[in-house]
Amino acid sequence: MRELLGKAQEEQRRAENPAGGSVSALESEEQYQQAYEETAARLIKLLSSTATTKSHVHSIHIYGRRHTRDSFLLSVVRPVFKTRTVSSILETAQRAVADLRRFDIFDDVDLLLDAARDPIAVDGSIDLHMNVKEKPRLFIKTGTEIGNGEGSMNGSINIRNVFGGAETLETNISFGTSTSSAFQFCLARPVNASPDARIDINAFNLVRNTPYSSYEEALSGGGVRFKALSKLGYHELSYGAIWRTVDRLAETASLSIRNQAGHSLKCALTHTFTRDRRDDPLLPTQGYFVRAQQELAGVGGLGDTHHVRNDAEAQVAARLPLGFVLSATLRGGLLYTLDGAPSRIVDRFQLGGSTSVRGFRTGGIGPRDRSANRDGMDPHGILVAFPPCCWITEDALGGDAYWAGGVSLTSPLPRLSEYPVRAHLFVNAGTLVPYNNNNTPQQTLESLTRSPSVAAGLGLIYRHSIARLELNFCVPLAIAMGDQYKKGLQIGLGLSFL
């Protein structure tokens, strides 16, 4: 075994310096590359010939660690001790190195295999040597983020490897357009020393603006969350308690919104599954995407919110000749209260907007409360509507059941095909309705399909590195009673589009 490892090391030295002297002695870079490839091929052949040789790991030595616990490192590399051939040792050791890098606590991890030098070691056994360089534990980050119809400025303080087991402690504060302020705290750690599974405890406080419904929502809460990556996709299971407050109502807020003002406590168990096989999540040309979320509120009788909430989304994209791409997206959701009481507005779905059903305003589809007094006066007696029959408030109330779908055809622009700019044609539609627990499934389905809101249009898409920007000209084709549509130009900025 010592001879085989010695040959492998000698071949590696030859690969690094095939001329046996200075690299500059080679006549050209092409000669060096050819010699390197020939030597690498001999090394691969040598390793292949010894791949099935019986062997095992005698000891593992890790250098350069300062804060990382030995018990954590042992949990990562322990599978190496179960291997019994050279090839399985090399494969398992490389997998352990890859896992160590994925924890994001090391700048670099180097691996070296050597014949065991312990006098009592069994002949043919191997020692593994790992040299690691830890990243700085404390780092501060500031930046901007873009979500669906929202931009924010944030700053965070993060501590890596808090207790020596790849734990992370993160505190974040942000200010944005829809979420005016937010503070978050999260302490996370790997499960069973795996980079594919983490558990965390979190707490947060944020204020969210909903101008289309004339109120502001304040949320404070915390919980525990488990995240895991499986062969099927990404799973997230969480349990949390959230104290919600609907306040700061607009002066013209409707009676329906005023009746929703106040506090509520939601204790919910939530599971989210995501499987993404698209080549680009912002502007896919092929692949598919599936996301499903289930929420059970009122577990154990805790809180004053009791419901089952389901939300799902699917998208598929396919390439066509001449650079065209056809994509289709379908979304749907259902909110069902368990105590027979009406749902709360903060739990309902909203539909419409530049990243939802284009051609309609944000929250522009679904039930509304149109409020105005007979004289067109606001609560202070000021004339704000003329003629008096005009509505002064059209608050979006949200809905308990919805569906939305869209089809888009994108194409490259002449002479601009190398840039992340595309033209597209689209048709999208959707319906949002309240749900009555006394209705049959057939009645609910009929209300969802009776009069969908439909819009079509064309526009330009710019695929930025952090978000997708759309400039569209929209034409509403079918408008349900109460819908707020937007004919003409509409700008959309976000991560997920219908």
Predicted confidence at residue 52, as pLDDT, reads 74
Question: Which residues make up the CATH 2.40.160.50 domain(s) of the chain?
Answer: 138-494
Q: How confident is the model at residue 116 (pLDDT cuts 50, 70, 90)?
A: confident
**What mean pLDDT is reported for the chain?**
85
For 132, other C-beta atoms within 10 Å of its C-beta total: 20
* C-alpha to C-alpha distance for 270 and 215, rounded to whole angstroms: 26
> Amino acid identity of 38?
E
> What is the helix (H) or strand (E) element at residue 92, kind and residue range?
helix 86-102
Question: Which residues make up the CATH 3.10.20.310 domain(s) of the chain?
Answer: 2-134
Which fold, 138-494? Porin (2.40.160)
* C-alpha to C-alpha distance for 373 and 262, rounded to whole angstroms: 24
Segment 194-223 mean pLDDT:
93
More confident residue, 35 or 239: 239
- pLDDT tens readout for residues 140-172: 988 777 666 677 788 899 999 999 999 999 999
Predicted confidence at residue 24, as pLDDT, reads 45
Residue identified by tokens 């009645």 is 443
* Homologous superfamily of domain range 2-134: membrane protein fhac (3.10.20.310)
Segment 310-325 mean pLDDT:
95
- pLDDT tens readout for residues 41-59: 765 665 666 667 788 888 8
* C-alpha to C-alpha distance for 81 and 70, rounded to whole angstroms: 16
- pLDDT tens readout for residues 428-457: 999 999 988 777 888 888 889 888 999 999
The three-point CA angle 9-12-17 to 5° equals 130
Check if the beta carbon of residue 462 is closer than 8 Å to that of residue 469. Answer: yes
**Model pTM score:** 0.82
- pLDDT tens readout for residues 341-385: 899 999 999 999 999 999 999 999 999 987 655 455 544 444 444
Check if the beta carbon of residue 76 is closer than 8 Å to that of residue 45. Answer: no
> Amino acid identity of 341?
A
Question: CA dihedral in degrees (299, 302, 305, 307; nearest 10)?
Answer: 10
* C-alpha to C-alpha distance for 61 and 80, rounded to whole angstroms: 13
